[in-house]
Structure formats: C-alpha cells, structure tokens
Amino acid sequence: MMTGIGHDIVKLHDHVRLLIVQDAPTSSTVPGYIAELLDKVDNDPHIGKVLETLGTYAIKGRFYNLDHLADAPQPDDSPKQLWEVLHQGLLKLNPNLLMQLASVDQSQAARVELNKLIISSITGWRELITRAWRTGVFGSLAKQWAPQLST
C-alpha cells in the first residue's frame, strides 16, 4: 500500500489525507473533530509549501553536504536554498512580514513570526495525523500504538 512513497512527504500526506477523508466518518470515535482538523490543514495557506520543502529535503537534500565534501556535488538546490525558497513563498503570502524583514529594527521579530508560521503548519498537520491514529481512523492496530506517539 505504501510502496512508492518512500521519503516523499507530499505523497505521504496525499495518501494519508485520502484515508482520513474516506475512513474518518465511519472509523473515528470523534469524526467531527477529525473533520475540523482536516479542514484546518486543508485551509492552511502554508502547509503545501512546507511539506514540499521538507519532502524535497528528505528525498534529495539529506546528503547534500556530504556529497559536496565527497566531490560529488548535487545539481539541485542546497538545503539552505530550499529553506530560502520556502521563506520567499511564505513572504509572498504575508507581505507585512516582508516589510518588517526589510526593517533593521523589526527583522528579528519578522524572522520569529516567519518561523511561527512554519511551526503552526507542521503542528496542525501533525495534530491531524496523531488524532486520526488515536481515534481509530487507521484501524485498531494504529489505535493500539497511538499512545506511543508524542503529543
């Protein structure tokens, strides 16, 4: 079932999201709550770019610096460049942060806010998946192991 996903976080998200949509109404002990969490993730304007960046890093970027040290440089963007592209995408969606970032006295606060956007997206996504596990969406075995998930 999971064959072909590997480290591709975007594919994983798409697969898991489909399972949640399909199974939460009948398998979850709290289908309304799961629907609310799903709606929150679906309406998060940043989650797509965050997952794409993390997925690209997981597939291509993990060994970027080691390859560089081994004189086998990768043609793709470095992890730092991936992160900068993520930031640029988020700044396009939040032009007020771009203005603050350009200000000497507000740039540090803007960076903190930018990181909060990323953290909020990841936290909402993780919450959806964790709660789906804990409420039975992914079956009894997943529910049995759910207490091992961090909160």
Question: Between the ranges 14-28, 58-72, 135-149, where is the mean pLDDT highest?
Answer: 14-28
Helix and strand numbers (H, E) in the chain are: 8, 0
How high is the pLDDT of residue 67?
A: 66
How high is the pLDDT of residue 30?
A: 97
> Cα 114 to chain center, whole Å?
15
Q: What share of the chain is helix, strand, coil (3-state, %, to 5)?
A: 75, 0, 25
SS3 142: helix
How high is the pLDDT of residue 105?
A: 92
Question: Per residue in 85-131, pLDDT tens?
Answer: 889 989 998 899 989 988 889 999 999 999 999 999 999 999 999 99
If we measure between CA atoms, which residue out of 137, 138, 121 comes closest to residue 29? 137
Q: Identify the band that residue 63 occupies on the pLDDT scale cut at 50, 70 and 90.
A: confident
Least confident of 11-20, 48-57, 127-136: 48-57
> Cα 100 to chain center, whole Å?
25
Token digits of residue 78: 């470095």
Q: Identify the band that residue 83 occupies on the pLDDT scale cut at 50, 70 and 90.
A: confident
pTM: 0.84
d(CA 118, CA 101): 16
